[in-house]
Amino acid sequence: MAKMNMLHAINSALDITMAEHPQACIFGEDVGYFGGVFRATSGLQEKYGKHRVFNTPLTEQGILGFANGLAAFGAPALAEIQFADYIFPAFDQIVNESAKFRYRSGNEFNVGNLTIRTPYGGGIAGGLYHSQSPEAYFAHTPGLKLVVPRNPYQAKGLLRACIKDDNPVIFFEPKRLYRASTGEVPEGDYTIEIGKAEVVKEGKDVTVLAWGAQMEIIEQAAAKAEEAGISCEIIDLRSILPWDAETIAKSVTKTGRLVISHEAPITNGFGAEIAATIQKECFLHLESPIERVCGLDTPYPLALEKEYVPDALKVFAAIKKSVEF
């Protein structure tokens, strides 16, 4: 074990992959010698050469088109989109191509070797175009997998699982935590299963659910709730597609209450899907309406970011509301 921040953990997962496959390639904007704007790919070009770790022209559409072709050839394609806000020019290549390659060809061809990494989320004073959480757009697309880690240990194990998974996966990296979150991470290889939520802390009064950077927020809120005598069960969803409805339903059956929090706007956010499924699965066990604490239905703001984001106080207020209903 070694103490790593999330960038080191991601770098380590990529390093293992590059060593393992002679044709694995890392590419994206500025990922070469510079190591990417956040330095997640630092040192890898020196180690594996310019043919395998390289800067692309500024074309997200091109990066994903290229990645689909490379993955269809059979090489592990590790594409980086510099900010999740800039993934939309690649939307067609992801939604119409990556996601449907296997299905439309009757499995004559697939892009299971594709992994897309992209920093997402707010909290860095990034404004509209450096703060978005676009996971719900992709969660509506059969054929993709979506994964979001909450800390360095999770990041390395989940990223390795994404790379090994035989389906195209988008790995959303909470950029606010890149350096802020540190912890013990094995230096060798390990994986964490995709599609499984993790019960981070057991509790009995209310289930509080989030993913990625929002995990830190709900943990703070739960700590406040504990002080007020409310016992919270904290769950990290980890994988948005496929998502672990079973673990959530089991928890809500026990606690009778659910609070969901995510940074993206509330309307049609992924929290809506969870709420709909859980009310069906747990209807007779629910003691109060499912609460959602999310971003407003506005573009992500700059000056009033603190007011906009679902912070610990807002989540705590929702927990109280749920328990006192």
Partner 1 sequence: MTNPNNISLNISHALEFIDGHALNIPTLKILSEDGDILDGATAPDLDKETALRIYSTMRFIRLLDERMQAAQRQGRISFYMQCLGEEAAITASAAALKQEDMIMAQYREQAALHYRGFSLEQFMNQLFSNEKDLGKGRQMPVHYGSNELHYLTISSPLGTQIPQATGYAYGQKLKHIDAQSGELSSEIDNVTICYFGEGAASEGDFHAGLNMAAVHKAPVLFFARNNGYAISTPADEQFKGDGIASRGVGYGIKTIRVDGADTLAVYAATQKAREIAVTTGEPVLIESIAYRLGAHSTSDDPSGYRTKDEEAEFKSNCPVARFKAWLLKQGWLNEEEDEVQKDKIREEILAALKVAEKIQKPALEELVSDVYDTPIPALQKQYEELKEHIKQHPDAYPITAGRIK
Does 285 qualify as catalytic in the annotation?
no
Q: Looking at 80, 85, 97, 311, which residue binds partner 1 (CB under 8 A)? A: 97
Q: Does 96 bind partner 1 (CB under 8 A)?
A: yes
Respond yes or no on whether the N-terminal peptide bond of residue 242 is cis (omega within 30° of 0): yes
Whole-angstrom Cα Rg for the chain: 19
The kind and range of the H/E element at 306 are: helix 305-308
Residues comprising the chain, all counted: 325
Does 60 qualify as catalytic in the annotation?
yes
Instruction: State the Cα–Cα distance between residues 82 and 60, nearest whole angstrom.
Output: 9
Query: Which residue's structure tokens are 């700590």?
Result: 223
Q: Does 104 bind partner 1 (CB under 8 A)?
A: yes
Q: Does 283 bind partner 1 (CB under 8 A)?
A: no
Q: Looking at 13, 14, 53, 71, which residue binds partner 1 (CB under 8 A)? A: 71
Binding region for partner 1 (CB under 8 A) out of 57-65, 154-162, 289-297, 317-325:
57-65
Cβ proximity to partner 1: between 60 and 219 the closer is: 60
Binding region for partner 1 (CB under 8 A) out of 1-9, 34-42, 87-95, 178-186:
87-95
Cβ proximity to partner 1: between 89 and 127 the closer is: 89
Q: Does 93 bind partner 1 (CB under 8 A)?
A: yes
Q: Does 70 bind partner 1 (CB under 8 A)?
A: yes
Nearest to 142 by CA among 174, 88, 90, 98: 98
Q: Does 34 bind partner 1 (CB under 8 A)?
A: no
Q: How far is the CB of 273 from partner 1 (least distance, A)?
A: 10
Determine the 3-state secondary structure of 168 from DSSP.
coil
Catalytic residue among 8, 29, 60, 97: 60
Determine the 3-state secondary structure of 269 from DSSP.
coil
Neighbours of 256 (CB within 10 A): 18
Nearest to 259 by CA among 223, 297, 232, 229: 232
Q: Looking at 103, 129, 190, 325, which residue binds partner 1 (CB under 8 A)? A: 103
Q: Does 245 bind partner 1 (CB under 8 A)?
A: yes
Instruction: State the Cα–Cα distance between residues 190 and 222, nearest whole angstrom.
Output: 30
Instruction: State the Cα–Cα distance between residues 58 and 231, nearest whole angstrom.
Output: 49
Instruction: State the Cα–Cα distance between residues 285 and 313, nearest whole angstrom.
Output: 27
Q: Looking at 15, 33, 39, 69, which residue binds partner 1 (CB under 8 A)? A: 69
Q: Looking at 2, 20, 43, 74, which residue binds partner 1 (CB under 8 A)? A: 74
Strands (E), 92-195: 114-120, 145-147, 169-174, 182-185
Q: Does 19 bind partner 1 (CB under 8 A)?
A: no
Nearest-10 crossing angle of helices 6-20, 152-164: 30
Binding region for partner 1 (CB under 8 A) out of 34-42, 150-158, 205-213, 235-243:
235-243
Q: Calculate ∠ Cα 249-206-292, nearest 5°.
A: 80
Residues numbered 149 to 178 that lie near partner 1 (CB under 8 A) are 166-167
Q: Calculate ∠ Cα 277-280-286, nearest 5°.
A: 105
Binding region for partner 1 (CB under 8 A) out of 37-45, 93-101, 211-219, 290-298:
93-101
Residues annotated as catalytic are 60, 130
Q: What residues make contact with partner 1 under the rule CB under 8 A?
A: 22-23, 25, 48-49, 51-52, 54, 56-57, 59, 61-62, 64-75, 77, 89, 92-93, 96-97, 100, 102-110, 112, 142-143, 145, 166-167, 195, 241-243, 245-246
